[in-house]
Structure 1
Amino acid sequence: MPQRNKNFTGRDDLLESLHEGIAADVTVVVPHTLHGFGGVGKTYVAIEYAYRFHHEYDLVWWIPADQPMLVRSALAGLSPHLGLPPAGSAGIEDTAAGVLDALRRGEPYSKWLLIFDNAEQPEDLSDVIPHGPGHVLITSRNHAWTSVADTVAVDVFTRQESIEFLLRRTDGGISPQDADRLATELGDLPLALEQAGALHHETGMSVDEYLRLLREQTIQLLDANKPSDYPLSMTAAWSLSVSQLESKLPEAGELLRCCAFFGPEPIPRDVFGARDEEHATQSRLRGLLGDPILLSRAIRELGRYALARIDSENRTIQVHRLVQALLREEVGEADRLAFRHEVHLLLAAAVMSHSPNDTTGWPYYAALLGHMSPAQVKLSHEPPVRRFALDMVSYLYSSGDYSSAHDLVVELLDQWQAASGDEDMSVLLARGHLGIVLQELGDYLASFELNKETLARMQAVLGPEHEETLLLTNSHGADFRARGGFAEALEHDRRSLERHREVFGPDHPQTLRVVNNLATDYLLVGDYERAFELQTSAYSQSRRVLSGNRQDVLSSWNGLARIVRLRGDYFGACDLGEDAYEFGCLELGADHPWTLRTAKDLATAKRRAGLIDEAFDLAQQTFEREERIFGRDHPDTLAAALCLANILRARGETVEALALLRDTTRRYWRAFGADHPFRYGCDMNLAVLLRVNGHLDEARRLDQESLSGFDGRLGRSHHYSLACAVNLASDHALLGDHETARRLGQAALAELRALLGERHPLTLASAANLVVDLRAGGAVGEAEALAAETFGHYREALGAAHPDVQLAMAGVRLDFDFDPPAL
């Protein structure tokens, strides 16, 4: 909450009316809106309501609502108080969604109050108002709220409230009669009265002198044709306060004008202390910013004259949006451009020492996010400022807020392309950032086309060995994987690694990212030994080099756990995965995209290890989170759905699994296209569930189509193809065609032994299925010899109590399924 206004006066009837209305909403939240003209005190009424009635709530939370990005950021900041991962270490979008869900359920608190301050259109908040057991209070200048919510109109002070306020604000320094005269001239507008009272308190100016100057200011303002959007009394009072402030401390006036070009949200005090060398010499505020004592005095003077709200607890400065608007209009165009430029440089310098990929820097970026659009950062041509803007985009997608990152980078691109052309460095970099965001949003086709075109431009403009060209080269490798071109991705990333090592060196973070991606390429083409070698190297180096970049560490860690599982060490994969998942929850938050990907892989490892109930709990929780955060059609959600369906089948809940997978299969086509290996993998899983639910002919047809697709894209010797061939053999066997089943099974077993080794659990499972087919075909001796050879190794690999071992020993066929890695 903002600090309470010690001079708050009156409004008792309004507060009581508001309290009675809002308290009537016991089970369903009806938003209550305080609306009114700027300067009438809507925000202060909301603050006073919160402090006066806080004893009725377990939790009260304040949310700046005039910019959509700030709403979710403020909601995310509530997460630690609800027992959720903290906003500073989890993605904004997913953390805010988790907060809303907890509030709707009333867990852990049912008595809560959310205050959305300075909301604009009702539709801006439609998806962030939690309809639960608590209360919502909104302040707005927009009367459109009257049609969608119970509203309380906030007007100017009554005359008695004005007099009482002025007497309190001036510590009795003026008479009630003089207070009445001031109130008459200032139209009882609270913000104007606040500044008049502050001016008297600071200067001892008589009321007669104040009114004389006010009349002179009014004449000047009328001559200047001030816009009718603002009350003339407010404009005159503000102008008078500023002139008196400047006569006392001119530097404070310059600081105030500078603050007018930030956003209306609180400005971190430290913004005025961080400057680079060039800015220190160019700044028009260099004398003030270079003298910490003078700066502190200037800030205090702004508070004394009621021209800014100084929050000492949170170390912020906030200027009323109406005062900001008046200040901006008061200066000439040259000064307006100069102050805006000053703000841009201050914002850029404030995060200069903080990487947007480092979680420790995220609070700094979050504090400045609300100033990006109001300060019109996109208009700057300065390279450091544009780099700051792109770093803000990086912060947003690194923290998991993909939609805000997309909106911001598109806004920057539209402006920069028009101003600087397609081949400008900042435009090329922004296009690269947009490509990353499109990848994360699952729009693979758009990402591929954009990155392909941008990379060609970078190579022509910057050269193939330029740092930024290489960064995009690495990112483009994911585009090939997303298209199902695993061999193309492998060749692309091999070349990329050579260039990265030449330019950056072997231990550079960018080089390690390529190694990590190359390991994924080898995994996807089925070379698990090479993938393991590279992933082990990437993981060990990332723990040493990438200490601040928790995402890359977790990505490498989870990649190692995944390849350990694919090589057949399910228990080792569980141990590694548990550690990685705990790291992700602690450092990034349980809802961060990479933590969720790690959770999905860990659930798969637990299922392979026979820990079915543990796997189910984790898989169900992960799927629900993915769906809530990204929606049902996002590739990560689809992967989580496959994981959950596989575990439901292992639990015997085959009808539920089939329903989930039928829906998921349709979505896989749309996400990846008709000829993607992942689409065939999803169909293969569906075929297994069709078979176990008795739809044998449909299962055989789907497996045959999937196998043909795998053969065409990956070849028969690939792990995915062989798994599908084993499943197709099961289809034929259950349909009575034991000879076809045997031939398929024998061929697949020979390939699996060569690919994975004779003692890999999947090789042993394939052998166990072949034992069943040999017995059914009358080759009892061959079957028993294979059984004797297989079952002992199976028990050694997984343990006698493992569900798969027990099924194999009982002569029950085993099913293979597909689990997609993150691309």
Structure 2
Amino acid sequence: MIDFFLAHQRNPHFTGRSSILKDLKGALTEGGPAVLIGPDGMGKSAIAEEHGRVNVTEYDFRLWVRAWDATVLATDYAGLAEPFGIPHQEDSDLQDLASSIRTWLEENERWLLVFDDAPSPEVLEEYLPRPGSGGGGVIITSKSPGWDGDFAKIEVGPLDPSEAASFLLSLTGQEDAEASKKLAEALESLPLALELAGAYIGWTGVPISKYLDIYRKRLGEISGRTSGLPEALVAVADISTEQVRAVSQEGIDLLRLSAFLAAEDLPLDLLVKTSALLADSVEMGLMALDRRGLVRRDEEPLSVHPLIQALAYSRLDDGERKTWADETVRAIGGAFSTYLGDLSTWPECARLLPHALASSEKVEDLRMGSEPASLLLNQVGLYLHRRGDLAGARNVLERLVVLDERFYGRGHPEVATDLNNLGSVLRVLGDLRAAKGCFERALAIEEAQDAPDRLKIAIRANNLGTVLRSLGDLTGALAAFERALAIDREAYGPNHLKTAIRLNNRGEVLQEMGDLDGAKESYQLAFRVFEQFLGPGHHYTQRARENLDSLSQSESD
């Protein structure tokens, strides 16, 4: 069996939920996707895990995809190509892989696929097998109630009171059923709050009845100061965190760091080496957090519940948030490859991608300017572009423009570079008018500098010409290409590849405008350089040859 549930090991104290598990099994038997709907902290993911465990003999593949972010979803989904045996390379286009994976799911049986924390049906449209196809099961977990149509919706709320009490007894190893019932009731049967309380009691050995007194006191102290989080959860988490602080500052620092990262597969092996805010060794801190249920540690993968992250974040003041945000993006940026041409680094990029997105979003939420965040987002945008996730690249590069405008100023050359990269993505996506706006603004910024970089102006002008040509503005395109050609010819000489590229672009516009003699001259000059330096088989050489052949055909007609 191929098992991608390994990073989501079953909670050994999972209790109850028999009715929901039965409904889930029935919904999957009917053949449609089943959606577990409920607020954070209700154990939706744990129920999905439990279904996969209980019915393990029915599946040859158990697969898990994070769906909270469209970019993370695309990357995780593409990762299914490996267990399915679908041929691919590190630089395979994500959209092509998604189509192949979807086809595989529709043509095969005995698989279970979980889309965890999906915000809406729309984000899954291109990933879900079409209705009536395939012989597997799809489970979706979501906080959103908006799942109509072919989805079987299953509501997930607090545990049944008797289940909650049994859960506490299982976690603590104690036998005081009456005290367990009272504590479960005080905790409103919230699964995450029960798990934290149970872990604390199990580790410290404090009687359940004594913990109930501690909890009630803490609940009174934090009432009205929970930042919108459930008061029961905040109270139990505060109790556990306070004890961690007493034995390990490293544990507190790890919890703070987690608030600026994605919830799963925290890359501590990398961050310990690069973060100035973490100690050289965090093992004692990890142990302190794990024993009190504040992190989930299954061998290597380390995860923190999003509500615990939110609580850790809420306990920081504005200055602390900015310090941790800046240091986190610096550390992630140091680990995210700066040399994307080396495909061997891309698996690590894929692993760090969710954390790069989460940490940079925190910088944006805090309305900070940050050179490390800028560098990180730029690398992420380029990585996604090269992987074929153009929608993801567009989103990241749009965010980068806003961040760099705040940090450098709207007229800074870094903003021009961002706009140029964004324009290139928009052009491929077919949003030509938006691409034109980006290239025009990038060009204007370069021109307005005290010492304009003429080579960058040539690049911006050439890109603008490409979009103007696609929009049918041949006169504007020709002017842009002529400008780029003049700069590069002066900088590099007549026999340089850059000059030849500009010549070929100019020739194509001249041909469309009916100036066949001018086009022929440009093509011949370009072809001569391409053939000399790149050889006859290179695509630039072949393109110039095809252009010359098309001219000959036009003349014969």
Does structure 1 residue 356 correspond to structure 2 residue 340? yes
| Equivalent residue, structure 2, for 1:735 | none
The one-letter amino acid paired with 1:317 is L
Deviation at 1:220, TM superposition (A): 0.9
TM-aligned CA distance change 1:88 to 1:300, over 3 Å = farther
| Equivalent residue, structure 2, for 1:213 | 214
Q: Secondary structure, in 3 states, of the residue corresponding to 1:157?
A: coil
Equivalents in 2 of 1:467, 1:169: separation in Å?
A: 66
The one-letter amino acid paired with 1:424 is H
Equivalents in 2 of 1:462, 1:135: separation in Å?
A: 62
| Equivalent residue, structure 1, for 2:30 | 24
CA contact (8 A) 1:251 1:298 kept: yes
Q: Secondary structure, in 3 states, of the residue corresponding to 1:461?
A: coil
CA contact (8 A) 1:436 1:447 kept: yes
Question: What CA deviation, in whole Å up to 9, does each residue of 1:230-266 have, x standing for no partner?
Answer: 3322111111111111111122112102211223343
CA contact (8 A) 2:482 2:506 kept: yes
TM-aligned CA distance change 1:113 to 1:423, over 3 Å = same
Normalised to the residue count of structure 2, the TM-score between the two structures is: 0.84
The one-letter amino acid paired with 2:439 is N
Equivalents in 2 of 1:488, 1:147: separation in Å?
A: 51
Q: Secondary structure, in 3 states, of the residue corresponding to 2:384?
A: helix
The one-letter amino acid paired with 1:360 is S
Alignment counterpart, residue 293 of structure 2, candidates 306, 319, 322: 306
Alignment counterpart, residue 373 of structure 2, candidates 368, 385, 391: 385
Deviation at 1:533, TM superposition (A): 5.0
Does structure 1 residue 346 correspond to structure 2 residue 331? yes
The one-letter amino acid paired with 2:225 is N
CA contact (8 A) 2:462 2:481 kept: no
Equivalents in 2 of 1:174, 1:489: separation in Å?
A: 81
Counterpart mapping for 1:116-155 below 5 A? 116-131=115-130, 132-133=133-134, 134-145=136-147, 149-155=151-157
Equivalents in 2 of 1:515, 1:273: separation in Å?
A: 48
TM-aligned CA distance change 1:382 to 1:532, over 3 Å = same
Alignment counterpart, residue 417 of structure 1, candidates 398, 405, 413: 405
The one-letter amino acid paired with 2:216 is R
Question: What CA deviation, in whole Å up to 9, does each residue of 1:607-642 have, x standing for no partner?
Answer: xxxxxxxxxxxxxxxxxxxxxxxxxxxxxxxxxxxx
Higher-Rg structure is 1
Equivalents in 2 of 1:346, 1:217: separation in Å?
A: 35
Equivalents in 2 of 1:367, 1:467: separation in Å?
A: 36
| Equivalent residue, structure 1, for 2:77 | 75
Deviation at 1:49, TM superposition (A): 1.2
Equivalents in 2 of 1:41, 1:558: separation in Å?
A: 56
Equivalents in 2 of 1:538, 1:180: separation in Å?
A: 81
| Equivalent residue, structure 1, for 2:442 | 454
Question: What CA deviation, in whole Å up to 9, does each residue of 1:6-51 have, x standing for no partner?
Answer: 22223233223211221122xxxx2211112221111110111123
| Equivalent residue, structure 1, for 2:515 | none
| Equivalent residue, structure 2, for 1:198 | 199
Question: What CA deviation, in whole Å up to 9, does each residue of 1:669-712 have, x standing for no partner?
Answer: xxxxxxxxxxxxxxxxxxxxxxxxxxxxxxxxxxxxxxxxxxxx
TM-aligned CA distance change 1:468 to 1:65, over 3 Å = same
Equivalents in 2 of 1:68, 1:86: separation in Å?
A: 21
Equivalents in 1 of 2:189, 2:354: separation in Å?
A: 31
Equivalents in 1 of 2:235, 2:492: separation in Å?
A: 62
Q: Secondary structure, in 3 states, of the residue corresponding to 2:146?
A: helix
Equivalents in 1 of 2:205, 2:381: separation in Å?
A: 49
Equivalents in 2 of 1:559, 1:396: separation in Å?
A: 24
The one-letter amino acid paired with 2:79 is G
| Equivalent residue, structure 2, for 1:426 | 414
| Equivalent residue, structure 2, for 1:395 | 383
| Equivalent residue, structure 1, for 2:226 | 226
Counterpart mapping for 1:206-605 below 5 A? 206-222=207-223, 224-227=224-227, 229-275=228-274, 283=276, 285-286=277-278, 288=279, 291=280, 294-312=281-299, 315-351=300-336, 353-375=337-359, 376=361, 377-378=363-364, 379-417=367-405, 421-444=409-432, 446-461=434-449, 463-465=451-453, 472=460, 475=463, 478-479=466-467, 489=481, 492-493=484-485, 495-496=487-488, 499=491, 514=498, 517=501, 521=505, 524=508, 525-526=519-520, 530-531=525-526, 534-535=529-530, 539=534, 558-559=538-539, 562=542, 566=545
Greater mean alpha carbon deviation, residues 327-336 or residues 35-44? 327-336
Deviation at 1:522, TM superposition (A): 8.6
Deviation at 1:219, TM superposition (A): 0.8
Q: Secondary structure, in 3 states, of the residue corresponding to 1:463?
A: coil
The one-letter amino acid paired with 2:539 is G
TM-aligned CA distance change 1:475 to 1:388, over 3 Å = farther
Question: What residue ranges of structure 1 are gaps of 5+ in the alignment?
Answer: 541-555, 568-713, 729-823
Equivalents in 1 of 2:60, 2:489: separation in Å?
A: 54
| Equivalent residue, structure 2, for 1:586 | none
CA contact (8 A) 2:34 2:139 kept: yes
Deviation at 1:432, TM superposition (A): 1.4
TM-aligned CA distance change 1:58 to 1:348, over 3 Å = same
Equivalents in 2 of 1:303, 1:522: separation in Å?
A: 64
Paired residues in the alignment total 528
Deviation at 1:112, TM superposition (A): 2.7
Equivalents in 2 of 1:167, 1:305: separation in Å?
A: 16
Equivalents in 2 of 1:298, 1:466: separation in Å?
A: 53
CA contact (8 A) 1:480 1:489 kept: no
Identity %: 26
Greater mean alpha carbon deviation, residues 378-387 or residues 389-398? 378-387
| Equivalent residue, structure 2, for 1:744 | none
- RMSD between superposed Cα atoms in Å: 3.4
Question: What residue ranges of structure 2 are gaps of 5+ in the alignment?
Answer: 509-518
Question: What CA deviation, in whole Å up to 9, does each residue of 1:427-470 have, x standing for no partner?
Answer: 22211111211232244454345324312321432734478657
The one-letter amino acid paired with 1:301 is A
Question: What CA deviation, in whole Å up to 9, does each residue of 1:183-222 have, x standing for no partner?
Answer: 2322222211211222123333332432222122101111
CA contact (8 A) 1:413 1:430 kept: yes
CA contact (8 A) 1:34 1:138 kept: yes
- The one of the two structures with greater contact order (alpha-carbon pairs below 8 A, sep at least 6) is 2
Counterpart mapping for 1:45-60 below 5 A? 45-60=47-62
Equivalents in 2 of 1:57, 1:558: separation in Å?
A: 48
CA contact (8 A) 1:70 1:369 kept: yes
Equivalents in 1 of 2:87, 2:532: separation in Å?
A: 30
Deviation at 1:521, TM superposition (A): 4.3
TM-aligned CA distance change 1:426 to 1:209, over 3 Å = farther
CA contact (8 A) 1:235 1:326 kept: yes
TM-aligned CA distance change 1:190 to 1:493, over 3 Å = same
Question: What CA deviation, in whole Å up to 9, does each residue of 1:716-742 have, x standing for no partner?
Answer: xx532431344x4xxxxxxxxxxxxxx
The one-letter amino acid paired with 2:332 is L
Equivalents in 2 of 1:537, 1:169: separation in Å?
A: 74
Alignment counterpart, residue 41 of structure 2, candidates 31, 39, 42: 39
Equivalents in 2 of 1:95, 1:266: separation in Å?
A: 23
CA contact (8 A) 1:264 1:319 kept: yes
The one-letter amino acid paired with 2:345 is G
Equivalents in 2 of 1:230, 1:465: separation in Å?
A: 52
Equivalents in 1 of 2:54, 2:94: separation in Å?
A: 31
| Equivalent residue, structure 1, for 2:162 | 160
The one-letter amino acid paired with 2:266 is I
The one-letter amino acid paired with 2:491 is R
| Equivalent residue, structure 1, for 2:15 | 9
TM-aligned CA distance change 1:185 to 1:487, over 3 Å = closer
Counterpart mapping for 1:616-627 below 5 A? none
